[in-house]
Structures are given as structure tokens and as C-alpha cells.
Structure 1
Amino acid sequence: MSNQPGWGAPQQPYAPTPQPPRKTGAGKVVGLSCLGVLVACLLIAVVAVAAFSDGDGGSNRPDTSVAATPGETAEEPGEASKSEEKAGSSNKEEAKPEGDAKATSTQAQRFKTFVEKNGTPTEKEAVRHVTKVQGADEQNDIMDAAEVFTDYSGGMMGTHANDGKLIASAFADWRDSENGLVTVYDKDGEILSNGNF
């Protein structure tokens, strides 16, 4: 059969098998890379914990221990804190009329008031459409995220995207943070714009 026309030349024995490639240590590279990522995550976690703790053992409350004066018995710890709470609540009631404007106004109202006093005419027009502001009062300068909701529609590609940018700019004038991000949403919950503050 090997001499039939069209079958080609008879086959020769196979060439020797090639040597296997050298091991490049890919396992070591992957293992060390994963270890490096793990160490970096732990380092970030330690820094974050250190930044959030204030060094007093984690308690932000004042010491409630009471020393008895001569001839007086010490109160139970629960009784002392109850009497302090009563005194503190009367102080809060007295202090409330002074800070009443901030306590009763919403973040959106305070934002609109600021822009009416300090904003440009185009910012004032855009801020009239703000319905709600969240996260403006909770700032820690690590990652501050505020949200501004409007009655606009259309999202980032809509006709009011420029107004969203004006609102984000006005918010940056109102609040200041090292790492703040403000996101402006339309009435459907789609992002109109965002910006740093």
C-alpha cells in the first residue's frame, strides 16, 4: 500500500520527543503575590482601626464613677447615671431653643439656604429642584459620601446632567472634606452627576 500513487512517500520513524519546558516557578510567584495582597489588606485595616480609635480604650462616654464625701454614702452606679441623665436632659431642653433652627430644618433646606445666599444664579436655579440631601452631616474625612436627590429626570445622558454638575459644585462650596464624594440623583434614582467636596 505504501507504493500506491498519491499516498506520498513512506513514513519515517518519529522524531525524538521534545524535552519538557523548565519550571518557571509560577506557583511561587502567584503565592507570593497573594501573600503581598493579604499583607497590604491587613496594613490598611490596621491603619483604619488606628484612625477610628481615639486612644482612650474605645469609650467616648465620661467617667461615671462618683466619690462619696465624708458622711455620705456612695450611690449605686446605676443610680448615679440616672441622676446624671435627668440633669443632662434638662440641660438639653434648655439648649434646644438656641439650636432649634438647625434641629428642625432638614439638610436640604440648609443646603438651599446656603446656595440662595452664596450661589451663582445658575446654581440657585438648579438647587430649587433639590428634594432631599443625605450624608452631609456625617463626616469623618476618611470617606465622606453625600447624596443629593432632585426632581429632574433623564440620568447622566439627559438634558439635566449639567444642572446636576452645578448642584455638585454648589455642594462642594457648602461642605468641605478631605475625601468627600457627592452624588446627585434624578427622581428615578439614576445618577445625574457626582463630584468631590
Structure 2
Amino acid sequence: MGMKSKIVLGAVVGVVVIGAVSANSGDADGGSAGKGSSVSAQQQPGGADPGSGADAKPADGKTGDKSGAGKAAEKASQAEQFKAFVRKNGTPQEKEAVAHVTKVQGAEEQNDILDAADVYTDFTGGIMGQGTGPAKLIASAFADWKQSENGLVTVYDAEGELLGNGTF
């Protein structure tokens, strides 16, 4: 009787594990579909119907506050957004260093697991050139701009050579 109980218990555990795996993959697909539908609802005038007011308010309230600024921010490149942040909040040294930034990549895709951003500048000479000091300031200003559990920002010169890096 003990052997039969172990087999039945193993089968039940197997079914539960398979059910949990299939439910999680269904949530992931359903979650992305839900996000897509709420985005399209927000883009249309009067996006949500009056019957779903409680469910639609958090999404609308969260993006509604930034709707004008959000559209302008989407049009601006990541480098321009970064420069604007530093112009407003940075120290004079950071402002001077960030003026050399030409391109920022990876600042928008954050998952707090492994976030990596690249900042390109117009400095020359690689790690032995004049851009290594300002690169630390740029990395520091980037950390003020974006926060992540596990982010790494890398600063490059005009030829793609490493100048410095930092966490954010």
C-alpha cells in the first residue's frame, strides 16, 4: 500500500507542477495583451467605457498626469532626455561633462535584473585620453537620472572605446 501511495502522490505533484507552469505562461501572454489593450484605450479619446471606471482609473491616472510631457519625452532621444535632466538637476561639472554626450542606449529597457545602458560621447583618446574624468561624472549623473536594482552604465568615446562605467 505504501508504494501505491507514493505513485499517486507523485502523479498529483506532477499534475500540479504542469498546471502551475501552464498557468504562468498563460499569465505572461495575457498580461502583455492586457497592457496592449490598455495602451490603445489610453490613446483613443474616452479610452475606457464608464462601466470599468475603477479598473481604468489607476492606469489612466498614472499616465494621464504625464500625457503631455510623456509625448514630448517620447519624441526626444534618450540623450536629449538625459541632458535635460542634468541641465535641471546636475552640478556645474556634471553639466559640462554631459554636454559631450552624443547618444544614450538602453536607458528605457529596465527590468531590475540586469540593466545595461551605454552612453557615447565626443571625447577621443580612449581610457588614456581626457574623457576618463568626465566619464565618471557622466556615470554619476546617469545614476541620478535612472535607478535600478542592478544597473551598469558604460561610457564610451567617439571611437567606441571604453572611458568608464558605474552602477545605477
TM tier, smaller: 0.5 to 0.7
Change (3 A) 1:56 1:156: same
- Residue number in structure 2 paired with 1:55: 24
List structure 1 segments (4+ residues) > 3 angstroms apart after TM superposition: 87-91, 93-97
Map 1:57-136 → 2, pairs under 5 A: 57=26, 58-59=28-29, 60=31, 61-62=33-34, 89=40, 91-92=42-43, 94=45, 98=68, 99-136=70-107
Unaligned runs of 5+ in 2: 1-20, 46-63
Unaligned runs of 5+ in 1: 1-49, 63-83
Distance 2:39 2:88 in 1: 36
TM-score by structure 2 length?
0.65
Distance 2:73 2:139 in 1: 22
Q: What's the CA shift for 1:88?
A: 6.8
* Percent identity for Structure 1 against Structure 2: 57
- Aligned CA RMSD, in angstroms, stands at 2.7
Change (3 A) 1:109 1:93: farther
1:145 aligns with 2:96: no
The structure whose residues are more often helix, as a share, is: 2
Structure showing greater radius of gyration is: 1
Q: Relative contact order, CA 8 A, sep 6+: which one is greater?
A: 2
The number of residue pairs the alignment matches comes to 123
Change (3 A) 1:91 1:108: same
